[in-house]
Amino acid sequence: MTVTLKASTATLKLNTGANIPEISLGTWRSLGATDGYDSVIAALKAGYRHIDTAAIYGNEDQVGKAIRDSGIPREEIFVTSKLWNTQQHNPAGALKDTLSRLGLDYLDLYLMHWPVTFNTRNVKGTDFMVIPKNENGKPDIEMDTWNFVKTWELMQELPATGMTKAVGVSNFSINNLKELLTSPGNKLTPAANQIEIHPLLPEHDLIKFCREKGIMIEAYSPLGSINAPILKEPKIIEISKKLDVPPAQLIISWHVQRGYVVLVKSTHEERIIANRKVFTLSKEDFEAIKNLAKEKGTLRVVDPDWSPFPLFK
């Protein structure tokens, strides 16, 4: 049996009314001298119209230059970046810095990267792109005087500045979202929640909750990790061989069929092109992948120790 792979041009609708392309190029770990630039140029040339970066990735300058050099009108490209934990007290200033590095006038989406605030007492000068350490050598987490609710109260004012069209969050659990949404100062529902999702971390409950609240889900690490052990799962290999499609495109297609944004990542042009090509799975194959975590157990790849903050709880 073979299936027809077709490059995705589909968009989904944010709660702002804006369209967001369902497949995005993620640029995490595109850290080589020109990795960020080259991958974004290749992606835009291949038809991608959604690019995701973050201040902490250290490549906003490359990403922005590629967007500007592409020749594609800015309004045709959906651009996302993220607020780092050391700048949660001043998201407006951080966003100005991001736009300066990108060389762009505005973002389409600006996310709070984590629901964790870092204490800046050990930050040197204006070098905020760090993980500051406390006297015990652990990440210096601030919980007594600041939290993500206060950060959100500042972020929700950003669309009115014209610097970003929408704001959202990343790595937020159901409990984090409930606390944010029910806080007295909340006036705006996040447009998106970008989280780790893959067949061994399907996040059924979190996806359901976000949909009920009108929050778009974005999936990062859709193949599980850089080394992508999920690609070697027997069930994935079995379905891949049956359909005569690469395992990566099988899994990306499964994500797309679930109805949320998928961040695919590569610095290799041929993979960038391939990752955008998807197909519709049969109900049987879709359910087999959906149930993989029940059979194998869950696996969270991105799980930093930022105690005492109860991450993912």
Q: How many CA atoms lie within 13 A of 293 on its CB side?
A: 13
CA distance 143 to 147: 6
Can 110 be counted among the known catalytic residues? no
Task: Choose the catalytic residue: 57, 110, 220, 260.
Answer: 57
CA distance 131 to 133: 6
Per-residue CA distances from 262 to 52, 97, 147 (Å): 11, 26, 28
Under a CB-based contact definition with an 8 Å cutoff, are residues 118 and 142 in contact? yes
Of 241, 206, 240, give the one whose Cα is nearest residue 223.
Answer: 240
At 291, which amino acid appears?
A: N
198 appears as a binding residue in the annotation:
no
CA distance 56 to 129: 5
Helix 234-243, helix 247-258: angle, nearest 10: 90
Known binding-site positions: 113
Known binding-site positions for substrate: 113
Q: Which residues are catalytic?
A: 57
